[in-house]
Amino acid sequence: METQIRGLKTTQSMVNHPVEWQLMLALLAGPRTLTQLRHPFHGWQRWQVYPRLYRLRQRQLVTIDQQHRLWQLTATGESLSPVLTALATCMASQKEGTTDEI
């Protein structure tokens, strides 16, 4: 458990904006185009997608295949998949109303 908490804290230091979390979750499913990544966002968040992708790229968590214009996780980004999967599971259970909140 302590290792998981340390992993989460490390991840939070590298990915600390809601749009970044959503982008990482989307890329966990596989490579995406910029249009595909922007689609679920609305309003001001839609304008945050490219700057946030650039920030994640600077942190070496995502990369872009210039030839195919596809964004994807790097090996470092893929190493965060257990944390991202846990986050996705938590978000799904909250949407279904099956949280363990007190």
CATH number at residue 29: 1.10.10.10
Q: Mapped to the 3 state alphabet, what secondary structure does 10-63 carry?
A: HHHHHCCCHHHHHHHHHHHCCCECHHHHHCCCCCHHHHHHHHHHHHHHHCCCEE
* Domain total of the chain: 1
- 2 is a domain residue: no
- CA 93 distance to own-chain centroid: 18
pLDDT of residue 56: 95
pLDDT of residue 102: 42
pLDDT of residue 10: 66
pLDDT of residue 72: 96
pLDDT of residue 75: 92
Structural domain containing residue 53: 17-87
d(CA 75, CA 62): 9
Look at phi and psi of residue 43 and say left if phi exceeds 0, alpha if psi is from -120 to 50, else beta. Answer: left
| Averaged pLDDT in 10-residue chunks for the chain of 102 residues | 61 81 92 94 92 95 94 92 82 68 46
